[in-house]
Structure 1
Amino acid sequence: MYPDLHLYIAGEWRRARTDMAVLNPATEEEIGRLPRAEIDDLDDALEAAEKGFRLWRRTSPRERADTILRAAAIMRERGEEIARAITLEHGKPLAQARAEVIRGAEFFEWDAGEAMRTYGRIIPAADGNKIAVHHQPAGVVAAFSPWNFPMSQPARKVAGALASGCSIILKAAEETPAGAIHIARAFEAAGLPPGVLNLVFGDPAEISSHLIPAEPVRLVAFTGSTAVGRHLTTLASENMTPVLMELGGHAPVIVCEDTDVEAAAIAGAVRKMRNAGQVCTSPTRFFVHESIFDRFADAFTERAAATVVGDGTQQGTEMGPLANERRVPMLTGLIEDAVSHGADLRTGGKRRGDRGYFLEPTVLANVPDAARIMQEEPFGPVAVLNPVPSLDAAIEAANAVPFGLAGYAFTNRADHIDRMIDEVEVGNLSINTLEASLPETPFGGVKSSGYGREGGTEGLERYMTVKNVWHSARIA
Structure 2
Amino acid sequence: MTQYPSLHMIIDGERVSGAGQRTHAVVNPANGETIGELPLAEAADLDRALEVAARGFRIWRESTPQQRAAVLQGAARLMMERQEDLARIATMEEGKTLPEARIEVLMNVGLFNFYAGEVFRIYGRTLVRPAGQRSTITHEPVGPVAAFAPWNFPLGNPGRKLGAPIAAGCSVILKAAEETPASALGVLQCLLDAGLPKEVAQAVFGVPDEVSRHLLGSPVIRKLSFTGSTVVGKHLARLATDNMLRTTMELGGHGPVLIFGDADVDKALDTMAASKYRNAGQVCVSPTRFIVEENVFERFRDGFAERVGRIKVGNGLEDGSQMGPMANARRPEAMNRLIGDAVTRGARLHTGGERIGNAGYFYAPTVLSEVPLDAAIMNEEPFGPVAMINPFGGEEAMIAEANRLPYGLAAYAWTESASRQKRLAREIESGMIGLNSTMIGGADSPFGGVKWSGHGAEDGPEGVLACMVTKAVHEG
The TM-score bracket by the shorter chain reads over 0.9
Q: Secondary structure at the match of 2:353?
A: coil
Question: 1:127 offset after TM fit, Å?
Answer: 3.7
Map of 1:268 onto structure 2: 272
1:117-155 deviations in whole A, cap 9, x for unaligned?
A: 101111110141011111100000000000000000110
Matched, 1:284 2:288: yes
Asked if structure 1 preserves the Cα contact closer than 8 Å seen for 2:264 and 2:416, the reply is no
Instruction: Select the residue among 56, 60, 67 that pairs with 2:64.
Output: 60
Asked if structure 2 preserves the Cα contact closer than 8 Å seen for 1:133 and 1:468, the reply is yes
Q: Match for 1:71: what amino acid?
A: A
CA distance in 2, matches of 1:184, 1:258: 47
Matched, 1:462 2:472: no
Q: Secondary structure at the match of 2:295?
A: coil
Q: Secondary structure at the match of 1:202?
A: coil
Map of 1:15 onto structure 2: 17
Map of 2:6 onto structure 1: 4
Structure 1 unaligned spans of 5+:
none
Asked if structure 2 preserves the Cα contact closer than 8 Å seen for 1:363 and 1:384, the reply is yes
Q: Secondary structure at the match of 2:121?
A: coil
Matched, 1:338 2:342: yes
Q: Match for 2:126: what amino acid?
A: I
CA distance in 2, matches of 1:38, 1:305: 47
CA distance in 2, matches of 1:304, 1:126: 68
Q: Match for 2:10: what amino acid?
A: Y
Instruction: Select the residue among 82, 88, 105 that pairs with 1:84.
Output: 88
Q: Match for 2:129: what amino acid?
A: A
CA distance in 2, matches of 1:436, 1:127: 47
Q: CA RMSD in A?
A: 0.8
CA distance in 2, matches of 1:385, 1:358: 23
Map of 2:150 onto structure 1: 146
The percent of aligned pairs where both chains have the same amino acid is: 49
Matched, 1:309 2:343: no
CA distance in 1, matches of 2:199, 2:348: 55
Question: 1:413 offset after TM fit, Å?
Answer: 0.2
CA distance in 1, matches of 2:69, 2:8: 26
Bigger Cα displacement from structure 2, 58-67 vs 246-255: 58-67
CA distance in 2, matches of 1:230, 1:120: 33
Matched, 1:37 2:41: yes
1:395-444 deviations in whole A, cap 9, x for unaligned?
A: 00000101000000011101211111111000000100112211110010
Residue pairs, 1:50-129, within 5 angstroms: 50-129=54-133
Q: Secondary structure at the match of 1:345?
A: strand
Q: Secondary structure at the match of 1:359?
A: coil
Matched, 1:448 2:417: no
Q: Match for 2:402: what amino acid?
A: A
Asked if structure 2 preserves the Cα contact closer than 8 Å seen for 1:265 and 1:297, the reply is no
Map of 2:419 onto structure 1: 415
CA distance in 1, matches of 2:40, 2:316: 28
CA distance in 2, matches of 1:294, 1:429: 25
CA distance in 2, matches of 1:296, 1:27: 35
Q: Secondary structure at the match of 2:179?
A: coil
Bigger Cα displacement from structure 2, 190-199 vs 261-270: 261-270
Question: 1:4 offset after TM fit, Å?
Answer: 1.6
Question: 1:469 offset after TM fit, Å?
Answer: 0.6
Map of 1:24 onto structure 2: 28
Instruction: Select the residue among 367, 380, 389 that pairs with 2:384.
Output: 380
CA distance in 1, matches of 2:310, 2:99: 18
Q: Match for 2:11: what amino acid?
A: I
Instruction: Select the residue among 242, 249, 253 that pairs with 1:238.
Output: 242
Asked if structure 2 preserves the Cα contact closer than 8 Å seen for 1:405 and 1:427, the reply is yes
Q: Secondary structure at the match of 1:131?
A: strand
Q: Match for 2:47: what amino acid?
A: D
CA distance in 1, matches of 2:421, 2:249: 28
CA distance in 1, matches of 2:412, 2:188: 35
Map of 2:304 onto structure 1: 300
1:343-396 deviations in whole A, cap 9, x for unaligned?
A: 000110001101010110000000011111111110000000001110111100
CA distance in 1, matches of 2:72, 2:264: 43
1:172-191 deviations in whole A, cap 9, x for unaligned?
A: 00001122110121122112
CA distance in 1, matches of 2:298, 2:433: 25
Asked if structure 2 preserves the Cα contact closer than 8 Å seen for 1:266 and 1:299, the reply is no
Deviation >6 Å, runs of 4+: none
CA distance in 2, matches of 1:192, 1:458: 23
Q: Secondary structure at the match of 2:399?
A: helix
Question: 1:18 offset after TM fit, Å?
Answer: 2.3
Asked if structure 2 preserves the Cα contact closer than 8 Å seen for 1:112 and 1:159, the reply is no
Question: 1:268 offset after TM fit, Å?
Answer: 1.1
Q: Report how many aligned residue pairs link the two structures.
A: 472
Residue pairs, 1:322-337, within 5 angstroms: 322-337=326-341
CA distance in 2, matches of 1:467, 1:179: 37
1:328-348 deviations in whole A, cap 9, x for unaligned?
A: 111111001000111000110
Structure 2 unaligned spans of 5+:
none
Q: Match for 1:347: what amino acid?
A: T
Question: 1:266 offset after TM fit, Å?
Answer: 2.2
Map of 1:259 onto structure 2: 263
Matched, 1:397 2:401: yes
Instruction: Select the residue among 202, 206, 209 that pairs with 2:213.
Output: 209
CA distance in 1, matches of 2:121, 2:270: 41
Question: 1:156 offset after TM fit, Å?
Answer: 0.7
CA distance in 1, matches of 2:146, 2:342: 39
